[in-house]
Chain A
Amino acid sequence: MANLKALQEGIVNSQIWKSIFRVGIPNTNRKRVLAVLGSLILHLHPVKVRRSGVRMSYTWCMGGTSFFLFLVETVTGLLLMFYYRPTIEYAFTDIMDLREQAPFGIMREMHRWGAHAMVISVWLHMFRVFMTGSYKPPREFNWNVGVVLLVLTLLLSFTGYLLPWDQLAIWAITVGSNMARATPGAGNEGPMSGLIKLGDIRLIHAGDDARFALIGGRSIGASTLLRFYVLHCMVIPLAAGFLMAIHFWRVRKDGGISGPL
């Protein structure tokens, strides 16, 4: 027993241990306080949680569910990336192989159902925040961050829709991306784009407008698939992750989860 204690002290007082856990053995009140304050858990998690904050009937846990689903999508999506190739030659067959031949064919289904669930939970989260008046000052900025996160969630769903490269995907994105034609100024059918002229020549046309930049061409093709893949796997998740960090941090800085009115 004495040897065990000596071993424990030897480990806890070693350079390696102390480089990871700064405080060492929390054997004084001061060290105990420092150990708690320096904990990563309390960097991520609030020190105090309101009783109403853990009441399901009040929060619906929709924000937490959305974040959980984002993590599920990140893990399953990362795994799918090991088998999926975003080219018109392979995309569809790779999706089939993910279902039929790759280990855990459920992985792709989890990603797909998780995506549907995330869109629903984000909407419900927004609905809850609205109905409890949690968008009001001092939380008005965080509401706006949340609105952007909602848009990013929808864009993640939209870009992921194309990746299976089946008929549903191609025509859904054809229809969906037509909206970009109507972008004010930047879309060739949008308001004010006709005003951008050089003499008589219209500078915004089908070959250089917002839709062209989004899908990398005049119609859905190989470059669209690659573009949406990069947007789906890198650009939008990184942007969403950055905004989520701000969103969660502001929840705490703006007074924690809002209480009942």
Chain B
Amino acid sequence: MPEEITPYQVTPKTPLAGSAAADIREQGEVTRRAFPIVLTAAWAFLAAALGGLASVLGRFMFPNVLFEPVQKFKAGFATDYSIGEVDERWKDKFGIWIVRTEDAMYALITVCTHLGCTPNWLASQNKFKCPCHGSGYYKTGVNFEGPAPRPLERAKIFIDPADGQVVVDKSKQFHQERGEWVDPESFIKV
């Protein structure tokens, strides 16, 4: 019985010995029916490779080690701070003002709530003043002038029971407008 030839089968010329076409011939032809499967597999492989590459690229942008100040630091003893003053010793390194009042201590984060600049403490005028757009804050951190929409944020502050030192943790913040300044973690009683 003669071999049946469908209209889709094209009898190829004898390919050049050693060529890629000859290799395929030796290993068996890809049939018309198998071709979509091969094609799908090829595209799937390409998509998987590109997906893998994209995830590597994405992951690479997130560093494992940061070269920036830690979020939580020890700020010495409460007695190191004078009553009624805004203490600027941690401003450059950690971005924190520590304020001690008659009966409490709290840590203000030195980020203006308008657009994120760093305000200055003007002791003579008894206020924080942002150099960017002129927002002003009282010593408590509450805004009273300029475009700032809400008070400065306070950071978590507590006494380390082990050594009695003040610890400030910037990773937890307290917003006055949410009523969070009454939270016992937002200040220390002294």
Residues of A within 8 A of B (CB): 51-52, 54-55, 57, 79, 82-83, 97, 101-104, 107
State the majority secondary structure of interface residues on B. loop
Residue pair B20, A103 in contact (C-beta under 8 Å): no
Residue pair B20, A104 in contact (C-beta under 8 Å): no
- Minimum CB–CB distance from A10 to chain B (whole Å) comes to 25
Residues of A within 8 A of B15 (CB): 51
- What is the chain B residue whose CB lies nearest that of A54? B20
Known: A79-B57, A104-B56. A55 touches B63 (CB 8 A): no
Residue pair A103, B19 in contact (C-beta under 8 Å): no
- Minimum CB–CB distance from B110 to chain A (whole Å) comes to 27
- Minimum CB–CB distance from A144 to chain B (whole Å) comes to 31
Residues of B within 8 A of A107 (CB): 60
Residues of A within 8 A of B60 (CB): 79, 82, 102-104, 107
12 more CB-based (< 8 A) A-B contacts, given A52-B19, A54-B20, A55-B16:
A51-B21, A54-B19, A79-B57, A82-B60, A83-B63, A97-B65, A101-B64, A102-B64, A103-B62, A103-B63, A104-B59, A107-B60
- The complex places the Cα of A29 from the Cα of B131 at a distance, in Å, of 68
Residues of A within 8 A of B21 (CB): 51
- Asked if B18 lies at the interface with its beta carbon under 8 angstroms from chain A, I say yes
Residues of B within 8 A of A (CB): 15-16, 18-21, 56-57, 59-65
Residue pair B18, A103 in contact (C-beta under 8 Å): no
A and B contact pairs by CB, cutoff 8 A, 13 listed:
A51-B16, A54-B19, A55-B20, A79-B57, A97-B65, A101-B65, A102-B64, A103-B59, A103-B60, A103-B62, A103-B63, A104-B56, A107-B60
- What is the chain A residue whose CB lies nearest that of B66? A101
- Minimum CB–CB distance from B132 to chain A (whole Å) comes to 28
- The complex places the Cα of A107 from the Cα of B62 at a distance, in Å, of 14
Contact of A51 among B19, B57, B59, B63 (CB under 8 A): B19
- What is the chain B residue whose CB lies nearest that of A57? B18
- What is the chain B residue whose CB lies nearest that of A107? B60
- The complex places the Cα of A126 from the Cα of B46 at a distance, in Å, of 30
- What is the chain B residue whose CB lies nearest that of A90? B67
Residue pair B63, A102 in contact (C-beta under 8 Å): yes
- The complex places the Cα of A186 from the Cα of B64 at a distance, in Å, of 48
- What is the chain B residue whose CB lies nearest that of A260? B16
- The complex places the Cα of A82 from the Cα of B20 at a distance, in Å, of 42
- The complex places the Cα of A72 from the Cα of B56 at a distance, in Å, of 14
- The complex places the Cα of A83 from the Cα of B65 at a distance, in Å, of 11
Residues of B within 8 A of A101 (CB): 63-65
Which residue, B21, B60, B61, B65, has most C-beta atoms of chain A within 10 A? B60
- What is the chain A residue whose CB lies nearest that of B59? A103
- The complex places the Cα of A97 from the Cα of B61 at a distance, in Å, of 14
- Minimum CB–CB distance from B49 to chain A (whole Å) comes to 13
Known: A51-B16, A51-B21, A55-B19. A82 touches B61 (CB 8 A): yes
Residues of A within 8 A of B59 (CB): 103-104
- The complex places the Cα of A52 from the Cα of B21 at a distance, in Å, of 11
Residue pair B64, A55 in contact (C-beta under 8 Å): no
- The complex places the Cα of A51 from the Cα of B17 at a distance, in Å, of 11
